[in-house]
Structure 1
């Protein structure tokens, strides 16, 4: 992964745009603006255009509306992820920047959740916890595959009045 791509993905506005697509649903720029009303329209259009030009956002549909073209986008996740080969070429500072952006997104999500009254973490099933496990590299890879499979099999569920959009975040690292 080039530094330009890392910089493209780690920009705060572009990260927020990408995070709105975590539910897998396509969106127009107008719909993104509804979900991120604090981002000025010109800024939103500029960053969406940058993500589309890089192939991170894919145009699913185009409609003419009052002389302009409204595009519906979805994320090409394989272009928005840092694959293992690219991670191997990242510097320590690159990893620190990437992890900081990840944690910043978690904090923003949690702040947004708490800001909507009445927030009830217990009733809403909010959890944050850590566990220390003694695992070989093979056992760790198996655990990660199991978790990925458990999450992936649930990702294609359609939103409805009985379902709540929930964020699942996962971090693993060795600890001395």
Structure 2
């Protein structure tokens, strides 16, 4: 797992951009701005430039729009191959590094939220929980598939004044083995 990717996953803003581009297949800066109005133009363009230079994103098209060039971004093939290689090689250290950065990104989102003066813990739709379960791999896969079906319709929702951006992070811990 490449360090640039791990840093990207740890940064909540970069991670949002990466996930949005990945889920849509490709996106322009304008589309990303429309989705994430909380990200300033300067920050957006700085991150897109850095993520492209780091090999996380690639420019798949350039469209001439009124005297300027609009770039269309997609997730770099190398990045997807790195993820696939990590799984194929069963690379525990790379997996741990990616997970650590993922958790750090979530921690930063909660830190930013709890630092604000206008939070409402009951009304803002934030929370976390743990549900210890015993399951076979097949049962676990079936449950996660069902959760994905529940969330799927929300993935196509557009930003509106009534809709706030939330990230749903699902972590399935490794199986605990009892000591013999």
What TM-score comes out, normalization by structure 1 length?
0.71
Going from structure 1 to structure 2, the CA distance change for 1:157 and 1:38 (only over 3 Å counts) comes to closer
CA distance in structure 2 between the aligned counterparts of 1:17 and 1:152, rounded to whole angstroms: 22
Alignment-derived partner of residue 6 in structure 2: 10
Asked whether the equivalents of residues 9 and 105 of structure 2 are also in contact (C-alpha less than 8 Å), the reply is: no
Alignment-derived partner of residue 50 in structure 2: 47
Deviation at 1:158, TM superposition (A): 1.3
Alignment-derived partner of residue 138 in structure 1: 138
Asked whether the equivalents of residues 61 and 73 of structure 1 are also in contact (C-alpha less than 8 Å), the reply is: no
Q: Residue deviations 1:6-34, cap 9 Å, x none?
A: 334213489542423545573428958x7
Deviation at 1:74, TM superposition (A): 5.0
Going from structure 1 to structure 2, the CA distance change for 1:99 and 1:14 (only over 3 Å counts) comes to closer
Q: How does 1:61-100 map to 2 (within 5 A)?
A: 62-64=63-65, 69-73=69-73, 75=75, 79=80, 82-83=83-84, 86-100=86-100
Deviation at 1:98, TM superposition (A): 0.6
- DSSP-derived class of the 2:128 partner: coil
Going from structure 1 to structure 2, the CA distance change for 1:60 and 1:38 (only over 3 Å counts) comes to closer
Whether 2:110 is the aligned partner of 1:113: answer no
Deviation at 1:75, TM superposition (A): 4.7
Q: Residue deviations 1:36-58, cap 9 Å, x none?
A: 689697x635423236x56x445
Whether 2:39 is the aligned partner of 1:35: answer yes
Where structure 1 has 5 or more consecutive residues not aligned to the other structure, the ranges are: none
Choose 111-120 or 142-151, whichever is displaced more: 111-120
Going from structure 1 to structure 2, the CA distance change for 1:170 and 1:62 (only over 3 Å counts) comes to same
Where structure 2 has 5 or more consecutive residues not aligned to the other structure, the ranges are: none
Q: Which has the higher contact order (CA 8 A, sep 6+)?
A: 2
What TM-score comes out, normalization by structure 2 length?
0.69
- DSSP-derived class of the 2:70 partner: strand
Cα RMSD (Å) of the superposition? 3.8
Choose 133-142 or 18-27, whichever is displaced more: 18-27
Query: Equivalent of 2:16, from 19, 25, 28?
Result: 19
